[in-house]
Amino acid sequence: MTGKFVLLNTADEFPKHAHAIFYLDQDQRLVFRDQRQFGVMKLIESSRLSQTKGISELAPEPFGEEFTLEYLRSLLKRSHRSLKTLLLDQTKVLGLGNIYAAEALFRARINPFKPANELASRRVPQLYEAIREVLQFAVDNIRGSISLEEGFSYGAAFESFWQVYEREGEPCVKCGSKIRRATHGGRSTYWCPKCQRR
């Protein structure tokens, strides 16, 4: 969550909270800093990766072959949870955090509080495309934004492209209505009350 990788050259001193160090070619060191100590590292054989706890429970990845429109449709049909909560569940859809779930729902013009099984079947493709689009956008834009020397800050790199996230009270980029925020399932949710009415 808050951990960072930092690339150090020969003369650089170790930063505070350096918990793991990888020694690279040309005397460089890749350091994992983790002030809050949420990070976990395990050393395991690659052949055992898929059976490893923490990996084996993970859901299909949105760019993988298993993440089909049919997969998403049947997933939504079986859940009474809100769409926002369901999309954050890493055992159902992998890789959407609080920011991307909010952004994907905004792109698809879907209300984040709607129970998953109440989303009309014809609207599922919109959500499916929005999930992939928002992640693809991030992947495309991440390349120029990462500075390993300074440490990569997730928030700072993408703030400029968020359309609803952390934009409470600002005008919606599509309709001009004020973006709203509510705490839902312990996390902040942002949405446009007009574009995402239903």
List of residues contacting Zn ion (CB under 5 A): 172, 174-175, 177, 192, 194-195
d(CA 19, CA 41) in angstroms, rounded, equals 10
The single-letter DSSP state of residue 95 is S
Instruction: Compute the least distance from the CB of residue 165 to Zn ion, in Å.
Output: 14
In whole angstroms, the minimum distance from the beta carbon of 109 to Zn ion comes to 8
CB of 157 to Zn ion, least distance (A): 25
List of residues 6+ apart from 111 with CB closer than 8 A: 83, 105, 191, 196, 197, 198
> CB–CB of 116/79 below 8 Å?
yes
Closest distance of CB 164 from Zn ion, Å: 9
CB of 197 to Zn ion, least distance (A): 9
Alpha-carbon distance of 162 to 102, in angstroms, equals 9
Q: Are 52 and 41 in contact (CB under 8 A)?
A: no
Q: Which of residues 89 and 166 has its CB atom nearest to Zn ion in the complex?
A: 166
Cβ nearer to Zn ion, comparing 78 with 194: 194
* Identity of the residue, 17 or 180, whose beta carbon is nearer to Zn ion in the bound complex: 180
Strands 29-33 and 4-8: antiparallel
Six token digits for residue 19: 């918990």
CA dist list (Å): 151 to 56, 97, 109, 144, 156 = 29, 20, 34, 13, 11
Nearer to Zn ion, 158 or 190 (CB): 190
Residue 105 or 172: which CB sits closer to Zn ion? 172
Residue nearest to Zn ion (CB): 172
